[in-house]
Amino acid sequence: MAATEFAVEGGGIPIETLARAMADGMEPRLVVLVEGISDRVALRALARRRGRDLDGEGVTIVPMGGATKVNAFLDLLGPEGHDVRLAGLCDAAEESHFQRGLERAGLGADLTRSNLEALGFFVCVVDLEDELIRSLGASAVEEVIAAQGQLGSFRSLQNQPAWRDGAHAEQLRRFIKARSGGARQYGRLLVEALDLSRVPRPLDGVLDFTRPEETRA
């Protein structure tokens, strides 16, 4: 069954909205739980570049509006709820929320990162922006920023006392995350600029996991 896209409020899909859709008969083949809208934007951009139609494949990416909400979504979608096949993506700082949530849902015990990946849940180190910046390289990220006419703003950040002596990659990450809508905007743009042989492992892993089992790498 084709996936359903939802309006996002406050960085996430309200669980009540998702619950109503499931009660009304929505039957996604697989749901990917992510922390926020920028993760969904990046994954969908990567899927398009790989020639995938996630909607047509029945894959729904659900931004929860924060990792602390994972228990509620697992209650709805996990083994004690609709028992949907699940995958996920989170930042390293939020890994423990996913570990505890999956264990609480009965999907494992004493989960290591390898265990999480076997379940389809992948961890970005440090976060999505850091993964993309390291994969592209700082100079290539600057080119993307310049193409948006925002290089002057980035140079201004570099000259601020708090950031003047910072590592180039950290300056870029701060610039992207500090701008309103920046994570969403650059999540898509940086994925579109990637060499597809250098996709960050967590994005590549979770997207591959969404394939039907018989076609997975």
Q: Residue 37 pLDDT more than 50?
A: yes
Give mean pLDDT, residues 142-163.
Answer: 97
Q: Residue 1 pLDDT more than 50?
A: no
Average pLDDT over the chain reads: 93
Phi, psi angle pair for 29, to nearest 5°: -70, -35
How sure is the predictor about 10, in pLDDT bands with cuts at 50, 70 and 90?
low
pTM above 0.85, yes or no: yes
Give mean pLDDT, residues 3-25.
Answer: 82
Give mean pLDDT, residues 120-148.
Answer: 97
Answer yes or no: CATH 1.25.40 is held by domain 15-128+198-215: no
CA distances from 70 to 28, 31, 35, 93 (A): 18, 13, 9, 14
- pLDDT for res 7: 61
Q: Which of 147, 3, 153, 194 is nearest to 84 (CA)?
A: 3
The domain segmentation of the chain, as residue ranges, is 15-128+198-215, 136-193
Q: Residue 25 pLDDT more than 60?
A: yes
